[in-house]
Amino acid sequence: MVTLPFTFEEYHGRQSRLLEQIPTDSLVLIPTNPVSYRSNDTSFPYRANSYMLYLCGWDEPEAVFMAHHVADSWVTTLFVQPRDTKAEIWTGRRVGTEGAASGWPVHEAHSINDLKDIAGTHLDSCKQAYLIQGLNSTLDEIVNSSIDIDSADPTSILDEMRVRKSDKEIRLMLESADIASAAHVAAISKGYAGIGEWQIQSVIEAHFTASKSRWSYPSIVGGGDNATILHYNANESVIAEGELVLVDAGCEVSGYASDITRTWPVSGKFSDQQREIYELVLKAQLAGIEACQAGSVWLSMHRATSAVLAQGLIDLGVLDCSVEEAIGDDMEFNGPYRNFFMHGTGHFLGLDVHDVGGGRQGDKDEGPILQPGMVVTVEPGLYFGSWRTDVEIPDRYAGIGVRIEDNVLITDDGPVVLTSNCPKTIDEIEALVGSEG
């Protein structure tokens, strides 16, 4: 029997908080993700929908969580793949309906083959269906073809619930952060001039696998100018003597993600120019982390990092203007410092890497209020791609890309860096590069 990451009590609490906000004449339908195919009959590794994981922990494909109201209470149901020996020979053992009914936090379970009939019957007696559309064509069809049924999206309710993490969720995220931190340490310690980006990727992802986790997003390993491409993912170049390598890689445990970026000199020592940019980004990141205070507006983190980066670019002679001019209009952040810091300062983190709840850094509003239990990333960067033609790149910084990213828990006592086991000071990094080469 599969061991679920949370107690039935915690799952039932989540279900109750959702259903308390749903009219009793409604039907709730939460499908999981469909199987996605890579080529012909070869599928991508399966990952269940985060809402399904959050509500009941079910991680097999072809499943739907349903809730309907009877008398004075809600009844929860899982539709799952039935046991099928021939299919299981090829793709693995299934829990089946009996296993789902006895081992998962729901009242009953049925075969996914009966979804249309059972859900259709309940729809006949409901006025509204709360359905996440676009994941299960059968559900979309029966809801959209019901002329007397209004359709609503339950994700806004669930998103608000998911933003603040429980103690057990935080423990899982700390475990994920520790695994990812150790993976980055392993990669840095094996670094050397001439190493391939793919080799660094293999060290990191091997550590994820050995720790019984999986990557939470495709690893970014960019050496030299490749580090100035924000979502670089080819990971196929050799990193030359004297270049920096930017590694953005995280894993997930029971669906809960970590997201870490570290930048380090592949030869073991920062050049003077690399050191200047790295120290500036680190200073900005520390300011952003300090701004992660309960009760502060979301945008406070971006303001803090932007002010440091803008002043630093002026001090280094990259920009020739005031700090206010460098940053641009308040709330817009459209000044010339954005030529070198193009993204936001961070995002929520949880069951999704870019987790639900709004408030992406760089948004043009102040965003949500930071509250205890929220987990965010803080990840300022500076990028000086020598290949760019849209802006003048100072020769002394050409080819330098630096980003530093940590995962931060908001508490009443100030920010807690969950990824603190991953070194980031210049002295720590220089001592670590190639130490196990």
Q: What is the pLDDT of residues 284-335, one digit of tens each?
A: 999 999 999 999 999 999 999 999 999 999 999 999 999 999 999 867 889 9
Sequence letter at residue 143: V
Look at residue 360 in the predicted model and tell me its pLDDT: 66
Q: Specify the residue for token string 């053992």.
A: 93
Computed over every residue of the chain, the mean pLDDT equals: 96
Greatest CA separation for the chain: 73
Q: Give the residues of the chain that fall short of pLDDT 70.
A: 1, 330, 360-364, 437
Which DSSP category does 422 fall into?
S
The two three-digit tokens of residue 116, written as one number: 């249309």
Instruction: Give the chain's length.
Output: 437
Handedness of CA 1, 29, 88, 108 (dihedral sign): positive
Which DSSP category does 266 fall into?
T
- CA 231/CA 278 separation, integer angstroms: 19
H-helix segments, 257-389? 272-290, 299-315, 323-327
Look at residue 2 in the predicted model and tell me its pLDDT: 75
Please give the helix or strand (H or E) that residue 262 lies within, else none. strand 260-265
Look up the CATH architecture of domain 167-432: Alpha-Beta Complex (3.90)
The CATH fold of domain 8-161: Creatine Amidinohydrolase; Chain A, domain 1 (3.40.350)
Look at residue 1 in the predicted model and tell me its pLDDT: 58
The CA dihedral of 340, 344, 350, 355, to the nearest 10 degrees, is -130
Task: Give catalytic residue positions.
Answer: 41, 231, 248, 259, 343, 347, 354, 379, 383, 403, 405
Other Cβ atoms closer than 10 A to 199: 18
Look at residue 359 in the predicted model and tell me its pLDDT: 75
Look at residue 362 in the predicted model and tell me its pLDDT: 54
Domain boundaries, the chain: 8-161, 167-432
Look at residue 361 in the predicted model and tell me its pLDDT: 54
256 bridge partner residues: 253
**Burial annotation 300-332 (CB, 10 A radius, 16+ → b, else e):** bbbbbbbbbbbbbbbebebbeeebeebbbeeee
- CA 283/CA 285 separation, integer angstroms: 5
248 bridge partner residues: 220, 261
CA nearest neighbour of 282 among 393, 426, 400: 426
**Burial annotation 375-406 (CB, 10 A radius, 16+ → b, else e):** bbbbbbbbbbbeeeeeeebeeebbbbbbbbbb
